Chains A and B, each alone.
Chain A
Amino acid sequence: MSEPAGRQGSEQDPHVPPPSLWPVGFAVGIATLLVGLVVSPKLIAPIGAVITAVFAFLWVRDVMRERASAVDVEPETRAVGTEPEAAPIPANEGEAAMPEPESEEEIDRFPRSKFLEGATLGLGAAIGGLVTVPALGFAVAPAFLHQHTHNVDLGPISDFTEGDFVVATFLVDPAAGEVSRRTAYVRNNGLLRNLPSFTILSNRCAHLGCPVQPNGPVFQDKEKIQKTGNGLEVRLIPTLPAGGFGCPCHGGQYDTEGNRIAGPPVRALDRYEYSIRNGRLWLGKTYSVGKVKGQGANAQIAKYPLAGPGEHVDGLESWLYPVDPPHG
């Protein structure tokens, strides 16, 4: 096929408009405008804008220009079906279009397509699992693994006068920062069999975890800030919780031993384990308490592993929480 000379009238020649050069000018105008905005907004940018506008106008005019419409060509026709058609074969005669399978087994034999289908689905599931399992594990596992308690230095035990409660505020995990600030109510119970005894109540309400407050004066003016090394501080404020402790959220009330006396809490206040090292009071793990009998150094504490607020640790309802996640 040789290229026909000239554009008019040839059947091979598609009726496309000739390439227009106006878009090139338009692009140059835009580029000038953008460069001008950076280099010289007052001189070059307006020039670019003018170029853009002029070429935009020319381009649009070019597009809108009337063009010779395509020549209508009568479609070529040709006689078809010169041979007479054979009469259709009745449905109940002649050969079957598809031969009947000889036995039942033959119907199920599409091994390759079945294999490919299974392989595709199986591979897809395997790949999906390979991706999903680690991702899900990463979302869930860190919340449960490697949970540990940090011991906290509360300063010399001489800061705690016998028989009085002190509001102690400290960081449980200095690496985590302020978010790990906790409060405990510490009372020096004096000596028990020549060993110092302390009652250290967590301020976390046993209902839903709000901060329990002392029902009595808090002596802010007697606040003491104890440096405990590594730039850490412990704030100690004496208090006189004559009415025990109360929760501002839902009105749970506790006595000075942490026993629930009113409101929705399901058990007594949690307590901290403690140790004395070189005359300093160190906090250890937190544990949950069912009930406390007696007072101060002679208290008998029903001790349980730390449970979440609202969880029963004793009685029938404790069966609702057979397994607890590791708290550390």
Chain B
Amino acid sequence: MAIQSAPPRTKKKSARRKKLEAAILYPIDWLEERSGLIGGVRFFLFRKVPGDTNWMQTLGSATLTAFLVQALTGVILAMYYKPDPENAYKSIQHITNDLTLGWLVRGMHRWGASVFIILMFMHMGRVFLFGAYKYPRELNWIVGVLLLALGMLEGFTGYLLPWDQTAYWATIVGINLNGTAPIAGPFLSQFLRGGAEIGPDTIARFYSLHMLLIPGGIMALIGFHLYLVVRLGVTSPPWSADAAGRERVDAPPATNGRNGLVRPGPRGRNGE
């Protein structure tokens, strides 16, 4: 048979090479044997997805990346920021004007916040338009909505921290908006302020909410969100023939060279 007649393509590895490989793999094996982490990561990352997944389906990962950028830059900004009325604005000026690369990290955090919110909405729109919120993924939609709310709370609490006129008055208006909610509103606004009026504790309060409480909630919910994605799998796009239960039609081989630009219908795996 043809397979047997062909000579084995892989050369026998030298003993030295084997040793080298073993030395490299040793720490990985050590970790895997004691924790099963490598297998876990493999299980988490190397998954089967529908053949016709779409670039739009990378928006969730993009949102996660935006959050990680916020987390990283935020942790570093926290090394230099001082959350009290006397020093907050000064420390922001110091970060922006004096510290090496401070302008960049602060800019990343400041603009990344908008990117994070925009990506969340785009991801939400993708899920909505693909119908990916339907059974059995309703719970993941709900978790996503909670994440959106927490993300916007991050935006609200972070907006005060530069402690300039914009920050101060926008926060006054934001808190008072909460205060107009029926019955509970006045209590909510007073809780946010930490008193009847904005005072020295308000900014530290917002800082704590912004960098500890809400991010903790977001991380926990992201974990649950991803768990559900792994458990339930990735959805096919709405035009997917597979998902509709139809047979795959093998399309004729592409001849016009524009296959990637036009989408005449479901494409088969003609290349495979």
Contacts and interface: CB of A to CB of B under 8 A. Distances in A.
Interface in A208-251: 208-211, 249
Interface string A34-78: 000000000000000000000000000001101000000000000
Residue in A64, A307, A322, A328 with the greatest tally of chain B CB atoms within 10 Å = A64
Interface in A103-118: none
Nearest to B173: A208
Contacts of B102: none
Contacts of B85: 177-179
Given A64-B16, A140-B191, A325-B190, A311 B173 contact: no
Nearest to B180: A310
Contact of A249 (B173, B183, B201): B173
Contact of A176 (B15, B172, B179, B199): B199
Contact of A179 (B15, B23, B179, B199): B199
Contact of A210 (B169, B180, B182, B189): B169
The 4 A-B residue pairs with the shortest CB-CB distance, nearest first, are A310-B180, A320-B182, A308-B179, A179-B85
B268 interface: no
B186 A209 contact: no
15 contacts: A63-B23, A64-B20, A173-B199, A177-B85, A180-B199, A208-B176, A209-B172, A308-B185, A308-B186, A310-B177, A311-B179, A311-B185, A320-B182, A321-B185, A325-B186
A177 B196 contact: no
A191 to B, nearest CB: 33
Interface string A154-177: 000000000000000000110011
Given A143-B191, A176-B200, A320-B183, 17 more contacts: A64-B16, A64-B20, A143-B194, A144-B190, A147-B196, A177-B86, A178-B85, A178-B86, A180-B199, A208-B177, A208-B180, A309-B176, A309-B180, A311-B186, A321-B183, A322-B183, A325-B186
B187 interface: yes
Contacts of B187: 144, 325
Contact of A328 (B185, B196, B198): B196
A307 B190 CA distance: 11
A280 interface: no
A180 B85 CA distance: 10
A327 interface: yes
Given A143-B195, A310-B180, A179 B172 contact: no
Nearest to B179: A308
A31 B246 CA distance: 69
B176 A310 contact: yes
Contacts of A178: 85-86
A250 to B, nearest CB: 8
Interface string B24-39: 0000000000000000
A308 B176 contact: yes
Interface in B77-100: 85-86
B247 interface: no
A324 interface: yes
A139 to B, nearest CB: 8
A320 B179 CA distance: 11
A172 B85 CA distance: 15
B197 interface: yes
Given A177-B85, A325-B186, A172 B197 contact: yes
A308 B192 CA distance: 13
Contacts of B23: 63-64
A180 B173 CA distance: 17
B177 to A, nearest CB: 6
Contacts of A64: 16, 19-20, 23
Contact of B169 (A249, A307, A324, A326): A249
Contacts of B86: 177-178
Contacts of B198: 179
A209 B15 CA distance: 78
A142 interface: yes
A309 B20 contact: no
A64 to B, nearest CB: 5
A95 B202 CA distance: 75
A151 to B, nearest CB: 15
Residue in B86, B185, B191, B195 with the greatest tally of chain A CB atoms within 10 Å = B195
B186 A66 contact: no
Nearest to A63: B23
Contacts of A249: 169, 173
